[in-house]
Amino acid sequence: MSIYGSNVFNDAALKERLPKAIYKALNKTIAEGRSLDPAIADVVANAMKDWAIEKGATHFTHWFQPMTGITAEKHDAFISPTADGKAIMEFSGKELIKGEPDASSFPSGGLRATFEARGYTAWDCTSPAFVKDGSLCIPTAFCSYTGEALDKKTPLLRSMEALSKQALRVLKALGNTTTNKVITTVGPEQEYFLIDKKLFEQRKDLIFAGRTLFGAKPPKGQEMEDHYFGSLKERISAYMKEIDEELWKLGVSAKTKHNEVAPAQHELAPIFTTTNIATDHNQLTMDTMKKVALRHGLVCLLHEKPFAGINGSGKHNNWSMGTDDGMNLLDPGNTPHDNQQFLLFLCAVIKAVDEYADLLRMSAANPGNDHRLGANEAPPAIISIFLGEQLQDILEQIEKGGATSSKTGGLMEIGVTTLPALPKDATDRNRTSPFAFTGNKFEFRMVPSSGSIAAPNYILNTIVAEILDEVASRLEKAQDVNAEVKAFLTEVATKHKKVVFNGNGYSDEWVVEAEKRGLPNIKTTVEATKALIAEKNLAVMEKHAVLSRVEMESRYEIELENYIKTINIESLTMIEMAKRQILPAVIKFATNLAASINTIKATGIAADLSAQTELLTEVSALAGDLKKKIAALEAATDKASNAHGDSYAQASLFRFDVFEKMGALREVADTLETLVDKDVWPMPTYAELLFNI
Ligand code: ADP
Ligand code: MG
C-alpha cells in the first residue's frame, strides 16, 4: 500500500519534513484549535512547497467549498520572478494561511454586496493538504470581509466544536476524567450511475440537467434484481480499480465497492473519519469519480434521479460521536440496558432529531432529491428513527419505569450442519428508514447523492449539541446524577417515542400513521427551505455559534435561488428537446406512415391499411397534444422566470406550475417514444443507456 496517502501532506510527511519544535507547535495548534503563529506558518509553507514540487506540483490553490455545494480552486504558480530576470519557487506562510479569491461570482445569498467582492480563504489545518493535477491543494474555509461564512466548511468546523463542548460537559457530569475532546465521525456511502459517454453526448438532458427529462420505461428495469451485488463487468471493474488508486493516493480510504439495486448503479464507501475530513474526502471522491469515468469512455452521473422509474442515488451518512481516548459514544456494548452513558447519548440524538426534524429534512433537500424522497424507493420525506428491536424494547422498558434487560440475538439456524451457527445480530436491518441506528452509529439515508455532506452533518452536530447542552445543565445541577439521567431517559422515551418507527417506511400506512403522530411530511425542497428561517432553528444555530441569523437567511436565499435556476434549466432543456428533436421526429414518422398508406393505396391492391391508419391517427393526435403541452410549459416558464421579487413565491411557481407542466409534457413524449419507429427516435433510449456496458 505504498500509494496510500502518497499525495497527501499528512502527519507522517509533516513529521519527516518539519523541525521537531515546529512539528510539535503545529500539532498543538491543531489539537487545541487555535490560530497558527505566522513564524511557524512560514516554515510549514516552505516544507509543504518543497514536498509538493517533488510530487510534480507547479501551482498551489486554496481549495474551498462555496455554497454551490461543489469545490472551487484558483491556481497560482509557486513561481516568483527575481531581479536578475530569473525565477524562484516561492510559497510563504501568509499565502498558506490566507487567500483572497475574488468571490463576487459565488453565491452569497445577499451576504456580500457585489462591491465588496472580496472573500477570504483560511487554511483548515485539521484537514491535510494534498497534490492533485499538478497543484498543491490547501483545504480552506471561505468567508466574507466581515467574517460571515460563505461556505460549507466553516459552519461544519464550528458545529464540531459546539458538539465537543457540550458532549464533554455531559461526560464530565457523568464522572469522566480522561476525555478531552469529542469528535463527530462520518463514513458516507456514495451511490452513482455509470453510462457510456457516446450515449451521454447524444442527450441534451443529461448534458444540461444531469438527468433524463424524457424516456419511456425499458422492457427490463430492476425487477429481476440481478444487478445488486452482481459480478462486476470488466469495464466497470477497471474503472473502480482506478478510482480506488486515485483516491488512495489522496488519502481517501475507499473501501467497498459493489453494484447497487438499479442497472448501471454502483456504490463506493470509505472508512469513516472526522466529519470535516470526511466531507473534504467526499468532495474529492465525487470529483475523482467524474474525472476517471471520462478516461474509460464513461460518464459518472451523481444526480439523485437520473432515470425515472429506476432507483435513484443517495448518500448514506453514517454518523457517530467518538472521544479522543477511543470511545464510541453510540456503542451500546453487550448490555445496552445498563449502559447509562450510551442511553443518554442515544436519547439525546432521538430528542434532537424529533425536535429539529424540519431542519434535518432541509439539510437533505435539493431539487434532485425531490424525485426520491417519498417516491416509493428512497426513505420517505418524513423523518423517523429506526432503533431496532433491542433498543426499542429498552426504550419501552424505560418508559414503564426502568430497563432491566437487553434482548439478545441468539444463534442463526442455517440448516446446514457443515456451516457454523452464526451469532445473530440483536437487530435486523431496516432499509426503509431515513435515520437508522446501525449497530454503533446512525445512518442518515436521506442525504442527496450529488450534494455536499457538510450541511447534514453541521445540522446534526448542532441539534445534538443543543440537547447535550440541556442534559449537561441538568446533570451539573442535579443532587443525584443517576436519578436525573433516568428522568431524562424517561422523558425521551415518553415524549419522543413518536419519532421512533421500526416498520416499513415505504408503506402508505406509515404516511397516515406519521400524520397522526404529528410528524412533519415536507415533500418538496421549496417547502423545506422554510426550516432555515423558522425562529426555533435560527435560535439554535445562533446559540451554538454555527450560523448567525444572517448566515441562515443567506442560505435560505441560496437554496431557493438554486431551486429556481435548476428547474428553469430543466424546463428550457425540455422545451428545446421537445421542439427541435422529438416533435420533428414524430412528424417525420407520421409523414412516412402517410406516404406508406398512399403508396400501398396506389397499387390498387385491397390491402388492410388499418395498422398504418390507426397508428397515424394515434400519433398525430399525440403530436398535437405534445405541441400544446410544449406551449403550456413555455408560458409557465416565462411567467415564473419573470416573477421577480420574493424568492419563495418564485420558487413556488417553478415547483407547482412549471415542474407540473414538465411532467405533463414528458408523459406525452414518453408515450410517443413507445409508438415511433426506433430508427427515427432522436436520442438513445433507457434500454440503451442502462444496459449498454
Ligand atoms: P453497511 O451499511 O453497508 O453495512 P458498513 O457497516 O461497512 O456498511 O458501514 C458503512 C459506513 O459506516 C462505512 O463508511 C463505515 O466506515 C462507516 N462507519 C462505521 N463506523 C462508524 C462510526 N463510528 N462513525 C461513522 N461512520 C462509521
Ligand atoms: Mg448503508
| Cβ of 131 below 6 Å from ligand 1 | no
Ligand 2 mean position, distance from CA 574 (Å): 34
Which whole number is the average pLDDT over 84-96?
83
Q: Which atom of ligand 1 is nearest to 331's Cα? A: 23
At residue 648, the pLDDT reads: 97
pTM: 0.93
- CATH architecture of the domain 563-692 equals Up-down Bundle (1.20)
- Residue range 11-150 forms a domain whose CATH class is alpha beta
Per-residue pLDDT for 565 more than 80?
Answer: yes
Per-residue pLDDT for 417 more than 70?
Answer: no
Cell of 32: 487545541
Q: Average per-residue pLDDT in the chain?
A: 90
Measuring from atom 23 of ligand 1, which residue has the nearest CA? 320
Ligand 2 mean position, distance from CA 511 (Å): 23
| Cβ of 440 below 6 Å from ligand 1 | yes
| Cβ of 460 below 6 Å from ligand 1 | no
At residue 425, the pLDDT reads: 56
Better pLDDT: 581 or 122: 581
At residue 223, the pLDDT reads: 56
The number of the ligand nearest the C-alpha atom of 445 reads 2
- For CATH 3.10.20.70, the residue range(s) in the chain are 11-150
Ligand 2 mean position, distance from CA 331 (Å): 17
Per-residue pLDDT for 681 more than 90?
Answer: yes
- Report the alpha-carbon distance of residue 58 to residue 447 in Å, rounded: 37
Look at 101-105, 316-320, 425-429, 639-643 and tell me which has the smallest mean pLDDT.
Answer: 425-429
| Cβ of 320 below 6 Å from ligand 1 | yes
Ligand 1 mean position, distance from CA 272 (Å): 6
Measuring from atom 22 of ligand 1, which residue has the nearest CA? 320
Q: Which atom of ligand 1 is nearest to 330's Cα? A: 23
Better pLDDT: 99 or 329: 329
Q: DSSP string covering 392-454, please?
A: HHHHHHHHTT---------EE--S-TTSPPEEPPSS---SS-SEEE-SSSEEE---BSSS-SH
Measuring from atom 19 of ligand 1, which residue has the nearest CA? 272
| Cβ of 545 below 6 Å from ligand 1 | no
| Cβ of 379 below 6 Å from ligand 1 | no
At residue 67, the pLDDT reads: 82
What stretches of 124-221 show up as alpha helix (H) in DSSP?
153-173, 197-200, 204-209
Q: Which atom of ligand 1 is nearest to 189's Cα? A: 14
Say how many CA atoms lie within 13 Å of 577 toward its Cβ. Answer: 27
| Cβ of 184 below 6 Å from ligand 1 | no
Give the position of cell 501551482: 59
Give the position of cell 398504418: 612
| Cβ of 267 below 6 Å from ligand 1 | no
Per-residue pLDDT for 422 more than 50?
Answer: no
Which whole number is the average pLDDT over 412-416?
48
Measuring from atom 11 of ligand 1, which residue has the nearest CA? 187
Band (pLDDT 50/70/90 cuts) for residue 117 is low
Ligand 1 mean position, distance from CA 539 (Å): 32
Ligand 2 mean position, distance from CA 443 (Å): 7
| Cβ of 318 below 6 Å from ligand 1 | yes
Look at 22-36, 158-172, 535-549 and tell me which has the smallest mean pLDDT.
Answer: 22-36
- Per-residue pLDDT of 366-403, as tens digits, reads 999 999 987 766 678 999 999 998 899 999 999 988 88
Give the position of cell 451511490: 191
At residue 226, the pLDDT reads: 54
Ligand 2 mean position, distance from CA 254 (Å): 15
- Per-residue pLDDT of 220-258, as tens digits, reads 666 555 555 555 678 888 999 999 999 999 999 988 677
Containing 125, the helix (H) or strand (E) segment is: none
Per-residue pLDDT for 115 more than 70?
Answer: no
Band (pLDDT 50/70/90 cuts) for residue 77 is confident
- Residue range 159-543 forms a domain whose CATH class is alpha beta
Which whole number is the average pLDDT over 549-576?
96
- Report the alpha-carbon distance of residue 604 to residue 610 in Å, rounded: 16
Burial (0-12, 13-18, 19+ Cβ within 10 Å), 213: buried
Ligand 2 mean position, distance from CA 433 (Å): 11
At residue 167, the pLDDT reads: 98
Q: Return the number of other C-beta atoms located less than 10 Å from residue 548's C-beta.
A: 17
| Cβ of 187 below 6 Å from ligand 1 | yes
- Report the alpha-carbon distance of residue 6 to residue 248 in Å, rounded: 8
Is the distance from CB of 549 to CB of 189 less than 8 angstroms?
no
Look at 43-47, 140-144, 369-373, 676-680 and tell me which has the smallest mean pLDDT.
Answer: 140-144
- Per-residue pLDDT of 589-600, as tens digits, reads 999 999 999 999
At residue 378, the pLDDT reads: 67
- For CATH 1.20.120.1560, the residue range(s) in the chain are 563-692
Look at 99-108, 141-150, 174-183, 602-611 and tell me which has the smallest mean pLDDT.
Answer: 99-108
Band (pLDDT 50/70/90 cuts) for residue 112 is low
Is the distance from CB of 339 to CB of 333 less than 8 angstroms?
yes
Q: Which atom of ligand 1 is nearest to 187's Cα? A: 14
Q: Which atom of ligand 1 is nearest to 439's Cα? A: 6
At residue 111, the pLDDT reads: 73
